[in-house]
Amino acid sequence: MRKISIITITYNAEKFLERTIQSILAQTCQDFEYIIVDGKSKDGTLAIAQKYQERINILVSEPDKGLYDAMNKGQQLANGDFVWFMNAGDEINDIHAVEQIYQQIDDDTDVLYGDSYFVDDLGNIQGLRSEVTPHRLPHHLTWQDMNLGMLVCHQAFIASKRVAPLYWQENLSADIDWEIECLKKAKGIVLLNFVVAKYLTGGISNKQLKRSLIDRYKVLQKHFGVLGAIGSHLLILVRGVFLMLRKGGKYW
pLDDT tens-digit readout, 11-58: 999 999 999 999 999 999 999 999 999 999 999 999 999 999 999 999
- Is the residue at 49 inside a domain? yes
Using CA atoms, how far apart are residues 66 and 211, in angstroms rounded to an integer? 15
- Is the residue at 242 inside a domain? no
- pLDDT tens per residue, range 218-227: 999 999 999 8
**Residue 12, domain extent:** 4-203
- Is the residue at 243 inside a domain? no
Cβ proximity of 220 and 232 under 8 Å: yes
- Is the residue at 111 inside a domain? yes
- Is the residue at 231 inside a domain? no
**Residue 33: strand pairing partners:** 5
- Is the residue at 212 inside a domain? no
Q: What's the whole-model pTM score? A: 0.92
- Is the residue at 115 inside a domain? yes
Q: Residue 162 is part of a domain; what is its CATH number?
A: 3.90.550.10
Using CA atoms, how far apart are residues 85 and 28, in angstroms rounded to an integer? 19
Using CA atoms, how far apart are residues 197 and 125, in angstroms rounded to an integer? 11
- Is the residue at 239 inside a domain? no
Q: Look at the chain and report how many structural domains it folds into.
A: 1
